[in-house]
Amino acid sequence: MALMSLAACGGGGGAGEGSAHDGVTDTTIKVGTISDRTGPTAANMEPWLHGVMTVVDEANDNGGVNGRKIDLKTEDDKYDGSLGLAAYKKLVSQDPVVAIVGVNTGDLQPIVAPLLDKDKVPVIGGQTSTKSLLKPLQKYFFGVSPDYSVQVDVMLAYGQQQTGKDQTRVAVVDNGTSTGVEVADLVKERNGKNGYNVVDSIVLPPDATTADAVVQKLMSDHVDQVAYHGNSTGVNLLLKAQQKFGAHFPIVGIAPSGTAASFAGIDPKFGKDFAFVQAVTPSAIKVAGTADMVKAADAAGYGDETTDPAYVTGYISGTVLVEGLKAAGKDLDRASLTDALEHLNVDTAGLSGPLSYSATKHAGLDAMRPYTWDYKSKSFIAAGEFSDYSDVITNEYTK
Amino acid sequence: MAEFTQYVVSGLAVGSIYGLVALGFVLIFKSTDIFNFAQGDLVMVGAYLGFGAMDRLGMPFWAAAITALLVAALLGLGLQQVVFRPMLGNSLLTMVMITIALSLIIRGVVVIIFGPLDKTYPDQLPGGAMTVAGVTLSYVDLIIMGVAAVAIACFTVFFQFSKTGLQMRAIGENSEAAAVCGVNANRMFSVAIMVGTVTAAAGGLLLANLQIVSPQLSDIGLIAFPAAVLGGMHSIPGAVVGGLTIGVIGQLSAGYVDGTAANVTIYLVLLLVLLIRPTGIFGAREVVRV
């Protein structure tokens, strides 16, 4: 594995007798995942899970971690907070695991956040980190993807840059879920700052059939740029409606909104209006860590998914897990793993910006950049370097 | 005014799909008294069958559509023989539970076959749009409205003038009396469920040109329920009018209020209509001799 733990000095929390209760035996380590496997965001969550599985398979093929094989218990929350809570409780107490990776569904995070201190189970983040898991700092949560405040900062800055104007009329379109409300609120908080004039906040529900009415409203309100929260289906509807009405304005979406499906069936003249922000580097863009990731993905049977940013995010989530388990040492339990994660510094070899944790920093990645779609090569193109956008990021939840 | 007209036109495009799906739903209910909660899933199946034919067999859209409709007809026949026929005569609750189970099974099987990842139709229908009196009409919307209108017209002619259509209507009115007159009830049930499955699949094929193909299409297909109830559960023209009404209300709500208001408004209108006309817009009050 090319990704290495640079400085991991996990504490020797007592494993011993307690290990049996934390899903750790002499030969196996039980780890849980909670993600939407069959619900409305499955198209994005499955590649993420495959990324996690790739790293776990690779570790197991190499003899496991400190002599133990990882036994991954995958739970499907179907994008439903109540199902997610049932899965969380199962993994905490009924079929105990030493750690949970994911808790991806935004609606689930505020439900789980108050339980972590009581249950003392480390949770490694996935594609989404909401405010509930970061502010105030949660001892047992270790984020991977940047939180929504970081995403909104980059989304707005890039959208404004595309308009070429200093003052822009901004609209936020969200899917009406709790995370959608969070993103809409973050955009509205920025009204009057940096030339952003927020004029519209519109909901495009996940079960919408067309976005004609939304785009007509954006046109009648003379919107210059749109911040989008939702999945690829919603943004595809927006682009189709833009194409239908001949309307051009930049739409910049949250990380999970960007998949190949977002651009499908859209004339390139209108497809170029959409970009999404991401913290990872898909394999179409070669960096030092790409070759090893692709090799591991091929071995795990997910070789065709490495161009998907969601897969790369999962690969990094899995890497944090495996490096944390290594650092926790032989006396592995939830306490020792939490301690190890809190001192972990992971070199992702260019697959993302810097990723490190400390006692006061659990958010994970905080560098992002926009991506667009190249219709010729059918792959994503990065708009600049991660460092290009560091100046606009306010780290509102973690500063 | 142009804005209002635009919302109405967009609503009619989507509503024509709802109407087509509702037509199949009403047909099955009218003929068999089965309230088919799996109708939305049959919409999704139609979209996936079309995708499979284009993506895996390399067919053009028109050939894929015909193939999908033929497979849907066979699927309908299979469902009639294996699921619906044995449940005829059972209590309403039993039938509802069986169709809910069928819905979950269909969704699960589709995910197993095609996977949970989003699919998209190749861009084969003409893009672009035309503007008439300030109202933008995309070619895709026009094609969808045209195909839905032709399909609805064909089914209407079939029910009004063909021998099988008349027999199906007779079964729908009074299955025992029709059977006494020599109508083969089982055959008519099979035809009704086949046609209902084909209309759902046709709705899915059209919807997939507006939407990404995913298991969530079944939720959109479920909007056929309020459309059918609004028009009148026993009325075929009512299903079409109900679908168009729901489509237009949804677009007007999304345009003038908010996206989340669409469902609220649709069900509010449904509630008001049912309070005034419990049998729906086109439903006839049942007269029972006592």
Two tokens, residue A339:
């301690």
Mean pLDDT of A18-27: 76
Question: pLDDT (tens digit, 9 = 90+) per residue, A341-356?
Answer: 999 999 999 999 889 9
* Chain A 15-54, residues with CB within 8 Å of chain B CB atoms: 37-38, 40, 42-43, 46-47
Helix or strand or coil: residue A213? Answer: helix
Residues 6+ apart with CB under 8 A from A333: A13, A14, A15, A18, A19, A22, A24, A98
CA nearest to B257 within chain A: A202
Round to whole Å and give the CA distance between A144 and A124. 7
Q: How far apart are alpha carbons B273 and A74 in whole angstroms?
A: 46
The answer, yes or no, to whether residue A11 has pLDDT greater than 60, is no
The average pLDDT across A125-131 equals 89
User: CB-based contact (8 Å) between B220 and chain A?
Assistant: yes
Chain segment A195-223, per-residue pLDDT in tens: 999 999 999 987 788 888 899 889 989 99
Tell me: pLDDT of B286 over 70: no
The mean pLDDT of A87-113, rounded to a whole number, is 92
What is the per-residue pLDDT across A68-97, written as a single tens digit (0 to 9) for each? 999 999 999 988 889 999 999 999 998 999
More confident residue, B92 or B194: B194
Name the minimum distance, in Å, from the CA of A261 to any CA of chain B: 7
DSSP string, chain B: -HHHHHHHHHHHHHHHHHHHHHHHHHHHHHHH----TTHHHHHHHHHHHHHHHHHTT---HHHHHHHHHHHHHHHHHHHIIIIIHHHTTS-HHHHHHHHHHHHHHHHHHHHHHH-SS-B---S-S---EEEETTEEEEHHHHHHHHHHHHHHHHHHHHHHHSHHHHHHHHHHH-HHHHHHTT--HHHHHHHHHHHHHHHHHHHHHHHTTTS-BSTTHHHHHTTHHHHHHHH-TT-HHHHHHHHHHHHHHHHHHHHHT-TTHHHHHHHHHHHHHHHH-TT-SSPPPPP---
Q: Residue A210: closest CA among chain B residues belongs to which residue?
A: B210
How does pLDDT run across A50-59, given as a tens digit for each residue? 999 999 999 9
What confidence tier does A365 reach under pLDDT thresholds 50, 70, 90?
Answer: very high
* B residues 115-134 lying closer than 8 A (beta carbon) to A: 115-121, 123, 127, 129
Whether ipTM > 0.90 holds is no
Q: Which residues pair with A71 in a beta bridge?
A: A30
Which chain B residue has the Cα nearest residue A220? Answer: B3
Per-residue pLDDT, A12 = 39
